[in-house]
Structures are given as C-alpha cells and as structure tokens.
C-alpha cells in the first residue's frame, strides 16, 4: 500500500472507531445512571425515549427502553444551556483547557487493537485491526498521551480565577502524579511478560492464559491507579461537592463543561479497554482464530465488565479523605508496585538462565518422580 492509501485507511478507521466510542460515551452515562439507580433502590431515567406498550386487559402502559434517549436530551440541554464566561479569567487558557482534556482521550484510540487480522469488504487489516497498527512502542505512546490530560485539569483550575477551581487543579496535579508512578511501574509487568511494548504482542502473549491469573497484584494496582487517574469515586476529590463546590469545573458551563464530562466517560471506556488488553487477553477468546470478527464482541464484553465495576465501586465506597488518598498512593501502592516489579524481573531472568529447570529436575530426582 502507498502512503496515501495507508493515511486514507487510518482516517476512515479512525472516524468509525471515534464515532463508536463517542456514542458509547453517551450511553455510558445512561448505563451509570441506570446501574446506580438499581444498586441504590432508585428509579433512574425512565421517561425520555421510551416505547409505550399496552398492557393486556388495559391499565397503564408499559415503558420499554425507558430513558433510552436521555443522553440525547442531555446533549441538547448542554448545547443550548447558557455558557457565561466569568470576569478576569485567562480567556485563551480558559477555552483551551477543555480541549486539552478531550483530545488525549481521543488520540489514545489510535493504538488500541480491537481484533486480530481481519478482512472487511475486501480490505485486509493486518497485523490487527486498529487506527495505527504495528506501533512497537504502543505502551510508551499511551503513557505519553495520557499524561497530557493533567494539564487540561490544572489549567482549567488556574485560568478560572476561582479559589475552588484552583484548589481542584492543585489536587489534580498531586493526585495524578502520585498514582501515575504506580501505574507506570505496573505496566512494566505485562511488557516483561510479553517481551514487547506492542499492544497486539501483549494480547497474543495471553493466548495460553490471562496475565491477571499470573499477576493479580499488578492487575489490582493498575485498576486502582486508573480509578485515581480518572478521578472516579472514591478518588473524586478534585470535584468534591461538599468541599470545592464543583472543583476545577465550577466556573464552566454549557458545552465547555460538557467537554470535561465527555473526556471522563470516554476515558472510562478507553481505560477499561486497556485493562482488558494488559490483563484480560484483549480481544482473544474462544474460536478467535477461526472467526476474527469475534474479537469485537470479546473486547466489548470486557469493556462492559470494566465499566460495570467502576460504577459498582462508585455506588459502594465512600470518598476518601485527601490524606488517605495520598497515603494509599505513596505508602502502599508505590512500594508494592516497586517490589512486585523487582520480583517479576528477577524471576524472568532466573527462568531465562534455566535456574528453575535445574531446581525442578533436582526436586523430581529427590522425590523419585
């Protein structure tokens, strides 16, 4: 393929995946509201967009798919909502901050493998289906792009000329830096186990077993770290209503507030996909080699499971105090991540040197196997 054909294919695939993820973000908000209502014995959205079904024998009608149009109603409200700009804000940075939050969430989609080699309408996607397949430093790309998101939050707080927003921005920088250390060290575990930073190689290395079964400690640390990166409960101290009104978004309204909202839910989908790729086999599953299209289904189910777990945690756990949040990151997660990384590295080197082969042979001779 020529360079122009590769670029055109990347644009088309990127448009399709971005459209699916953006639509998915909208309905992730509905999923969260419905699940929270179920978990907390409430009703949740049940009016916008329902299909009326008559009951047998008369009586009140049944509401099928109640609330299915709630995301569209929310979008219309945000588009037409008053969007004032407070006095004395830094106008350029104030308007740039929401974009700095959304753009990294979209760019990360470029390297995520959605399924293996597949042919769609005569077009072959090799070695796997992604916007930019074959990037050998995919993990570094993800870390580099996601680290930019903190600038959007910090600059939103600083430029708003509000003490509540500034405090939210300061908390953001401290919290995200603290948990990125543990997250980065934990990502070294699947890299070492797969001997590659290519996301597809990491998925293929789990053909004989998910990494979560070999490294549950790394999986738990990674999950806690991404909850902190997403500022999800119980780590949502950046916008703690009882302390900071609405935190770094307190001076934003309309679609500028909607962009922060959009970035959070898009990153929920993306980080759930990354959790699936690094520890749950990505798009791999039964019969994937015979029917590659099943990869879309498998990774979709795993993403849904990640979203469900995030929402369940929000419904179940109270918000941490800020000193508890920092202590968890620095006193517990970081030391455990460092120790786990060292042990895995040592065991991998010893295994490559044949240390365990000799030890197992000695044990077999000793016990007469």
- pLDDT, position 239: 66
Task: Label residue 278 by pLDDT band (50, 70, 90).
Answer: very high
- Predicted pLDDT of residue 210: 95
Specify the pLDDT at position 133. 87
The pLDDT value given to residue 240: 63
- Where residue 363 falls among pLDDT bands split at 50, 70, 90? low
Q: What average pLDDT does the structure give for the chain? A: 87
Please report whether residue 29 resides in a domain.
no
Report, as an integer, the average pLDDT of 160-181.
84
Q: How many domains does the chain have?
A: 1
* Minimum mean pLDDT range among 60-74, 106-120, 143-157, 282-296: 60-74
State CA 365 to chain mean position distance: 49
Instruction: Let me know if residue 38 belongs to a domain.
Output: no
pLDDT in the model for residue 294? 94
Q: Is the pLDDT of residue 282 over 90?
A: yes
Does 295 score more than 60 pLDDT? yes
- Domain assignment present for 31: no
pLDDT band of residue 270 (cuts 50, 70, 90) is: very high
Residue 350 confidence (pLDDT): 86
Closest CA to 240 of 149, 154, 312, 168: 168
Is residue 195 a part of any domain in this protein?
yes
**368 pLDDT band (50/70/90 cuts)?**
low
- Residue 186 is assigned to a structural domain of this protein: yes
Q: What is the pLDDT of residues 218-257, one digit of tens each?
A: 999 999 999 998 888 888 877 665 665 667 888 888 888 8
Q: Residue 230 falls within a domain, yes or no?
A: yes
- Residue 61 pLDDT > 80: no
Can you give the residue range of the structural domain that contains 314? Answer: 82-353
Domain-located, residue 102: yes
Convert the pLDDT of each residue in 116-160 to its tens digit: 989 887 788 888 899 988 889 999 999 888 888 888 888 988 898
For the segment 83-94, the average pLDDT, to the nearest whole number, is 87
For residues 150-176, average pLDDT: 85
Give the model's pLDDT for residue 2. Answer: 75
pLDDT confidence of residue 192: 94
pLDDT at 182 over 60: yes
User: Is residue 369's pLDDT more than 60?
Assistant: no
Residue 165 lies in a domain: yes
Q: pTM for this one? A: 0.91
Residue 302 pLDDT:
96
């Amino acid at each position: 393929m020529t360079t122009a054909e590769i670029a055109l294919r990347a644009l088309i695939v990127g448009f399709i995946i971005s459209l699916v993820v953006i639509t998915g973000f909208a309905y992730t908000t509905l999923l969260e509201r419905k699940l929270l209502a179920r978990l907390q014995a409430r009703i949740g959205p049940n009016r916008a967009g329902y299909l009326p079904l008559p009951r047998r024998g008369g009586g009140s009608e049944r509401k099928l798919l109640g609330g299915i149009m709630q995301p569209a109603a929310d979008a219309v409200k945000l588009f037409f909502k008053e969007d004032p700009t407070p006095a004395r804000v830094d106008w350029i940075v104030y308007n740039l901050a929401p974009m700095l939050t959304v753009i990294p969430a979209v760019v990360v989609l470029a390297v995520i493998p959605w399924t293996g080699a597949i042919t769609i309408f005569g077009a072959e996607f090799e070695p796997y289906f992604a916007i930019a397949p074959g990037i050998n430093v995919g993990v570094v790309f993800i870390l580099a792009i996601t680290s930019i998101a903190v600038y959007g939050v910090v600059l939103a707080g600083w430029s708003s000329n509000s003490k509540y927003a500034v405090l939210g921005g300061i908390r953001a920088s401290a919290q995200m830096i603290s948990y990125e250390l543990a997250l980065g060290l934990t990502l070294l575990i699947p890299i070492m186990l797969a001997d590659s930073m290519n996301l597809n190689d990491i998925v293929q290395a789990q053909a004989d077993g998910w990494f979560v079964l070999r490294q549950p400690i790394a999986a738990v640390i990674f999950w806690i770290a991404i909850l902190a990166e997403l500022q999800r409960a119980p780590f949502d101290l950046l916008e703690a209503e009882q302390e900071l009104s609405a935190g770094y978004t307190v001076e934003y309204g309309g679609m500028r507030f909607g962009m922060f909202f959009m970035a959070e839910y898009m990153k929920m989908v993306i980080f759930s996909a990354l959790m699936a790729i690094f520890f749950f086999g990505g798009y791999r599953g039964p019969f994937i080699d015979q029917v590659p299209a099943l990869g879309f289904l498998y990774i979709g189910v795993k993403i849904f499971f990640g979203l469900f777990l995030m929402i369940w945690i929000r419904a179940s756990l109270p918000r941490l105090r800020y000193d508890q949040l920092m202590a968890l990151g620095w006193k517990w997660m970081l030391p455990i991540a460092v120790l786990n990384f060292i042990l895995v590295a040592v065991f991998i080197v010893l295994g490559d040197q044949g240390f365990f082969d000799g030890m197992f042979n000695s044990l077999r001779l000793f016990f007469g196997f």
